[in-house]
Each structure stands twice: as structure tokens, then as C-alpha cells.
A and B are shown apart, each in its own frame.
Chain A
Amino acid sequence: MKHYTATYWAFFKTSLLEQFQYRVAMAIWMIGRILEPIIYLTVWTTVAHARGGSVGSYSPADFAAYYIVLMLVNQFTFSWIMHTYDFRIRQGELSNFLLKPIHPIHADIAENIAYKVMTAVIIFPTAILLYFLFEPNLAFHIQTFAVFLLALGIAFLMRFFIEWTLALVAFWTTRNEAINQMYFTLGLFLSGRIAPIDLLPGAIQTLADALPFRWAIAFPVELMLGRLSQEQILNGFTMQAVWLLAGFLLIQLTWRSGVKKYSAVGS
């Protein structure tokens, strides 16, 4: 454990150093990620006003709270690993990782955390600014917040595991983008990014329940907003646990057979 802490710390420091070289690109990426929830928030606020003040159980102030928290949750749980893995495999860069006596996922997790720490200086001030602009209906309870942090942590890991598994599909196809695009589009609908899930038709809600997206994003958001009953919270954590475990097992499986394929074919 102590060893892993030291290794993570070294990975974290070097990733931070590396990413610092690309701060302009980073800021531009961030603009995109900040704009998305603001656009949806604006659209839904307009719809709410047109509908006489609310859509479903959401008032404009509820939408504001929802999308500000969603922006934060998405920021802290997203990964980009599936867009880079096929490059690693095709260019043979993976060989460097395979020669090291440590599983390569650790470096990727540390890199992701370093990025999140670095971009925190943009995302938190943005959230505060949005708070004053949109006046969200958001009450702060320390207990709710603690439970939210737990859900956020699990969401990060389960999303990372699932997206790392998707990244490993690159062992079998040389072009991953088609699959990534499908994952992205499904996620847009089923994670609650385009609209809160309880505003979607029943069939889509059922689908959202069965897939991981909702549990990675909408669940922590709704939890923080105090919109969930105790039963729903319990159910949410159960689903998170299921997907976390599934992601973990999927990684073991795909990684092992992927490396086997890689070492049969070479690079």
C-alpha cells in the first residue's frame, strides 16, 4: 500500500508537470465542457418559462442547481483514455508499459487525477460564477454532501474502469472511434446530461436504469440535490457497486486476452 502511494505520487507529479505544458489546450477543452451544461441549462430554463414556470418537477432554479452540479460531476468523473489507447497499441508504445513491473492502469488513473486537480482552478470559480448568475435552488447539508462525495468517488472509478475496458477494444479493432462515438451518444441521453432522466419517456428511463451512465452522473447529481428517497439512494449505490464490480472484472478479462493478442502479433 505504501509502495502504491509512493508510485501514485510520482505518477501524479510527472503528469502534472506534463499537463502544465499544455495549459492553453487544456483551457480550450475546458470551455467546451463548461459550455455544454450551460447550453442545456439555458434551453431548459427557456422551456420552463414557456410552460408557465416548470417542466415536470423542475423549476428554473432546480435546472440551475442540476446543471451546475452535473458540470462538476462530469468534470470529476470523465476520462479520455479511450481516445488514446489505439494510438498506444498501434505505435507500440504499449511495450514500454508491458516491460514495467506495475499494471499500466495506475499511471492512467494518476494522470486523470492530476488533470482534475489542475483543472479545479477553472471549474470551481466557474461553478461559483454560475451560482450567482443562475441562482440555483441548492441547499447544503454536510451529511448529504458526504454521501455525495462517496457516490462521486465510486462514479469516478466505475466510469474509469468501463472506459478503460472500452479503450482496450483497440486490441481488436484498429479504429476505436466508431465505438467511442456510440458510447458518447448513448451517454449523452442516458446519463442525464441532455435532460434530467425523470423528464425522459418511461422506456428510456428503463434503459437508463439498466446501463451504467445514469449511475455515474445523474445519480450523484440528484443525490446532491436532495431529490432522492432513501430507497432510491440505496438502490443507486447498489447499482454503482454492481457496475464497479462489472467494470473491474471486464478489465481483468479484456486486459489479459488483449495482451495475449498483442504479444501474438507484436506491434
Chain B
Amino acid sequence: MSNIPDITVQNLGKTYEVPQREPGLGAAIKSLVSRTTRDVEAVKNISFDVAPGEIVGFLGPNGAGKTTTLKMLSGLLHPTAGEISVIGHTPYARHKDFLNRITLVMGQRNQLMWDIPVADSFERNRAIYRISHDEYKKTLDELSTLLDLSDLLSKPVRNLSLGERMKCEIAAALLHRPQVLFLDEPTIGLDVTMQRRIRAFLGEYNRRHSATVLLTSHYMADVEALCKRVIIIHHGELLFDGDLNALIERFSPHKTIVVDLETERADLSSYGEVITAEGNSVTLRVPKTKTADVTGKLLANLPVIDLTVEDPPIEEVIEQVFSN
């Protein structure tokens, strides 16, 4: 791995000009003469680097500016402020060398042709990216194995299920072996098994080809499985950039203690906030600083069979981040 980042983003901003109009006929007529617009800042002053081979989770609630940022990084949108460099290119210049080495997968968009077999759409991409037949065969074999595509290739896209189609979309987007992958909700709408499959595939692809991946997802399982590092944006601003563990450390002031008792549950509310109490098992939430203290007291005062201290689920942490 070189020291030069694959992606460099400096003070990136994107402001959309949105036409604005009051409801009603009068306002409609007025708008013919004077159009009023309002500036919406979708992305504000964001900076980060991504090293070659790194997988970074790009998180934020709906409307945070994730897709806008990914579109700027892949060259579809022109930034209104700041600088972007991806593998040495300015994305919006859409240089052929740049386009040959990146890919953008959007979970809700498709590039495969609807009416023709998947393999024929792939063949189209092969020609566009000038992939040699040998190279193409090798890549297709690899993708087919990893994603289990062999039965799907001869089917028209319209006959595929959502999950099957997504697998094919991802394969189509990777036929040219891009070095940088921008993935916008690649697992959206898929069932748990399919999500896991795609997740495992992305991890494997990253390991095999040292690809750089920037991924957005609303499924924390995706993020936990794939990303050591996360970048969180909210209302277009960067809130956090760092290790997933550090995020939990920093934003979760609580720990969760699960105790299994010998006897029927006692009232443990004096030890901490009781989240659940089922049979002999009680889950408590306690301030992080008091964890050792409470654990000691529980062990000393109660007939404890088992006790575990856990970080709260990542969803909860993220929620915490956004509510701040």
C-alpha cells in the first residue's frame, strides 16, 4: 500500500438552488415573472482521506448528504466548494482513466438492460471497458463463484428477484475490476441472508484486490462486518471520522450489563436502569464510569450465575450521535 490516499476530500461543499413557490394560482402566476430560489446546503465543508485498500462506512440519516457526496466523488455532481481527488483525478472532469478505475453502485438504480439476459448486459460492459476476453472470463468466473451467479446469467433481468438482481448489478459494476468502489446502500431491501452474502462478497473482493471501498448503509450489520472506520455526516456536516470502536467509546456513555441469577429476579433498579427482565435474566444500563462499581456490587450482593458487560448496540450509539 502506498501512502498516497486514493480519495482526498478537502472542504467539500454542495449547495443546491431549489425553486421556491407558495401554493396557489396567484403564486404560480407570480412565479412566471419573478422566480425565487432558496439555497439548500446539502454538504458543508467536509474533509477526509481514504487510503488504498481501506473500507470506510459512510453513515448518516436520510438526507444527511451521503448520496450527494458519493455522486460528487464519482463525478456525477459538480461540487460548489472544495476539492476532491480520486486516484489522482478530479471526478467531475470524467476522464476516461478515472471512469475505467471506479464504480458506483446505487441500490435503488439499475444499469442492467431489463429485457435481455444478464450475460448479454455483461457483454456490453465488457466492450465498453475494453476488457479482453481472457480477462473477462477470469473475472466473470470469480464473480460467479463468489456471488453464485451461474444460474442467473442466462435469465432476463426482469425475471430476477430483487436480491438476484442486486447480485448481478454488483457483478456488472465490478467486471472492469475497479480500484475504487462507491456503494450507496448496496443491501437495501434485501433479506438477511442476501445481505450477509453481499457483505461477505464485498469483504472478500476488498481482500483479493485491495480495492478501496466507501459504503453507505442503513444496516449496521453491514458496517460492523466490513468497516473498521466510519465517517458520520449529519445535515451535511462531518460529525465523526475514525475507528468504529472509538465511536462507541466516545458517543456511548453507557454500558449494558446482563446478569443471570440463581433465583427469580429481584428488583435491580437500585443498581442501574433496568432495560429488560425476563425470568432470571436482567439487563441493566449503567453509566460507563460506574461499570466496575456496579459489577462489583452485583457479584457481592446477589447469587450471580453469569454476568456480561457489553457495549450497547451500534444502532443505539448512532442514534445517540444524531440526537446530540
Contact = CB atoms under 8 A, between A and B. Distances in A.
A265 B39 CA distance: 12
B78 A264 contact: yes
Interface in B42-76: 68, 71, 74-76
A99 B75 contact: yes
B127 A7 contact: yes
A88 to B, nearest CB: 12
Interface residues of B, number: 33
B317 interface: no
Question: Of A13, A96, A101, A265, which is in contact with the most chain B CB atoms at under 10 Å from its CB?
Answer: A101
Contact of A266 (B16, B74, B94, B109): B16
B127 A18 contact: no
A6 interface: yes
B76 A266 contact: yes
A101 B113 contact: no
B128 A7 contact: yes
A14 B123 contact: yes
A102 interface: yes
A95 B127 contact: no
A242 interface: no
B128 A263 contact: no
Contact of B128 (A102, A264, A265): A102
Nearest to A22: B115
Given A14-B113, A99-B99, A99-B104, A266 B77 contact: yes
B115 A18 contact: yes
Q: Is the interface of A mostly helix, strand, loop or mixed?
A: helix
Interface string A245-264: 00000000000000010011
Nearest to B71: A266
B121 A14 contact: yes
A201 to B, nearest CB: 38
Contacts of B129: 101
A250 B127 CA distance: 28
A262 B213 CA distance: 26
B41 interface: no
Contacts of B71: 95, 266
A11 interface: yes
A260 B106 CA distance: 21
Interface string A176-217: 000000000000000000000000000000000000000000
B31 to A, nearest CB: 15
Nearest to B158: A21
B111 interface: yes
A53 interface: no
Given A9-B127, A10-B126, A14-B120, A99 B74 contact: yes
Contacts of B208: none
B38 interface: no
Given A14-B123, A21-B115, A96-B109, A101 B76 contact: no
